[in-house]
């Protein structure tokens, strides 16, 4: 009986992905304990994150068990629902830190832009899948619009980091769907040409972040502070790291947001270059597994979806580590599976769940 229940539970859970995810979550909990200051504070944070993990695992399991044709059908409604929520946020959202990102839903707050990270690739994959045989420029134009609408809504909140991730997710679908190189190059050129225009559209704090990226020392106590302090944490960690709970940058409050977006600095300070390599390898294994799943996916829809979800995960990891180590501007992107926070964890494990579903349901589709 129990065996059958277990078999039922693990039926659609990909062991490799699950193992890697679990390892990363453990690394996250260990780092979180230290980042929160250890002791009672550490335990409180870890307990909170464990609750987040429990919820996210639930979401992952459900996603893993959703048959692919349901996913197919969910695409359009989810996308529309996401758009509506984004509009609602614009009207009713809670303002915090000068940005309107949160929507209160009774017991909890919720960031609709997170939903878009899944809903947009889902929608695009569904759209391209419908026109599988005859993908034309027109289809890509529609795809571009499908990307731009939510991205602009999110950028307006303003939430540059999420807008970047969402547009990246959308772009990956367009790219994997076979967007021609000519258009890619053209877009690249157009993008460069529109930089001044983008600059004029940016909020002051966004411009500041870009400027600070170019020269963090320009404003060491202001906008450059995050980058300088996190780079110091990284560099002072050295090859071997200072050891767990021994990171001075973190424990002496020099690192801001050290349990969330900057948790990687704590990790890198305490575990050094060796720890970083381990982390990079773990991330690459997750991404590699995701790409394998995408390569073996049965339909264009699932292929695009699996590819986009995997690459979004990659983008999270790369942007976050790049920002902490000072080669990318500071945008609010958490380190997937490591940073503290429920919303992003749920989104990421939902994506992982989708990958599992695509992998474990593929034979059902083929036959």
Q: What is the C-alpha to C-alpha distance for residues 198 and 227, in angstroms, rounded to an integer?
A: 23
Could you say which residues in the range 223-282 bind other proteins, by CB under 8 A? 229, 231-239, 248-249, 252-254, 268, 272-273, 276-277, 280
Binding mask 298-337 for other proteins (x = CB under 8 A): --x--x---x---x--x---x--xx--xxx----------
Closest distance to other proteins from the beta carbon of 110 (Å): 30
Q: Is 128 in the site for other proteins (CB under 8 A)?
A: no
Closest distance to other proteins from the beta carbon of 134 (Å): 10
Q: Would you say 33 or 172 has its CB closer to other proteins?
A: 172
Q: What is the C-alpha to C-alpha distance for residues 344 and 320, in angstroms, rounded to an integer?
A: 13
Closest distance to other proteins from the beta carbon of 225 (Å): 9
Q: What is the C-alpha to C-alpha distance for residues 45 and 51, in angstroms, rounded to an integer?
A: 10
Closest distance to other proteins from the beta carbon of 308 (Å): 10
Q: Is 212 in the site for other proteins (CB under 8 A)?
A: no
User: Edge to edge, what strands does the sheet with 99-105 contain?
Assistant: 94-96, 99-105, 108-110
Q: Would you say 78 or 321 has its CB closer to other proteins?
A: 321
Q: What is the C-alpha to C-alpha distance for residues 24 and 313, in angstroms, rounded to an integer?
A: 13
Q: What is the C-alpha to C-alpha distance for residues 245 and 231, in angstroms, rounded to an integer?
A: 18
Binding mask 50-89 for other proteins (x = CB under 8 A): ----------------------------------------
Residues that bind other proteins (CB under 8 A): 132-133, 172, 175-176, 178, 229, 231-239, 248-249, 252-254, 268, 272-273, 276-277, 280, 283-284, 287-288, 291, 294-295, 300, 303, 307, 311, 314, 318, 321-322, 325-327
């Amino acid at each position: 009986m129990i065996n059958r229940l277990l078999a039922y539970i693990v039926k659609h859970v990909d062991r490799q992905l699950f193992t890697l995810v679990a390892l990363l979550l453990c690394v996250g909990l260990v780092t979180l304990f230290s980042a929160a200051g250890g002791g009672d504070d550490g335990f409180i944070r870890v307990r909170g994150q464990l609750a987040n993990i429990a919820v996210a695992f639930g979401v992952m399991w459900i996603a893993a068990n959703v048959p692919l044709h349901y996913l197919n059908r969910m695409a359009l409604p989810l996308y529309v629902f996401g758009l509506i929520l984004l509009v609602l946020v614009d009207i009713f959202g809670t303002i915090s830190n000068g940005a309107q990102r949160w929507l209160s839903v009774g017991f909890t707050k919720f960031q609709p832009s997170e939903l878009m990270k899944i809903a947009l690739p889902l929608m695009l994959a569904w759209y391209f899948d419908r026109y599988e045989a005859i993908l034309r420029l027109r289809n890509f134009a529609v795809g571009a619009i499908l990307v731009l609408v939510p991205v602009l809504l999110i950028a307006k909140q303003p939430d540059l980091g999420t807008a970047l991730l969402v547009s990246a997710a959308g772009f990956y679908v367009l790219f994997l769907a076979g967007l021609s190189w000519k258009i890619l190059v053209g877009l690249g050129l157009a993008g460069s040409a529109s930089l001044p225009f983008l600059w004029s559209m940016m909020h002051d704090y966004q411009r500041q972040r870009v400027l600070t990226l170019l020269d963090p020392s320009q404003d060491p106590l202001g906008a450059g502070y995050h980058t300088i302090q996190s780079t110091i944490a990284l560099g002072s960690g050295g090859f071997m790291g200072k050891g767990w709970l021994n990171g001075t940058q973190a424990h002496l409050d020099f690192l801001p947001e050290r349990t969330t977006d900057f948790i990687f600095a704590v990790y890198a300070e305490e575990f050094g270059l060796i720890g970083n390599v381990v982390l990079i390898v773990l991330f690459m294994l997750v991404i590699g597994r995701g790409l394998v799943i995408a390569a073996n996916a049965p339909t264009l829809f699932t292929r695009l979806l699996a590819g986009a979800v995997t690459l979004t995960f990659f983008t999270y990891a790369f942007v976050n580590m790049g920002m902490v180590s000072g080669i990318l501007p500071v945008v609010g992107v958490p380190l997937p599976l490591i940073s503290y926070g429920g919303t992003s964890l749920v989104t990421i494990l939902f994506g992982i769940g989708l990958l599992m579903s695509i992998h474990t349901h593929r034979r059902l589709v083929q036959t």
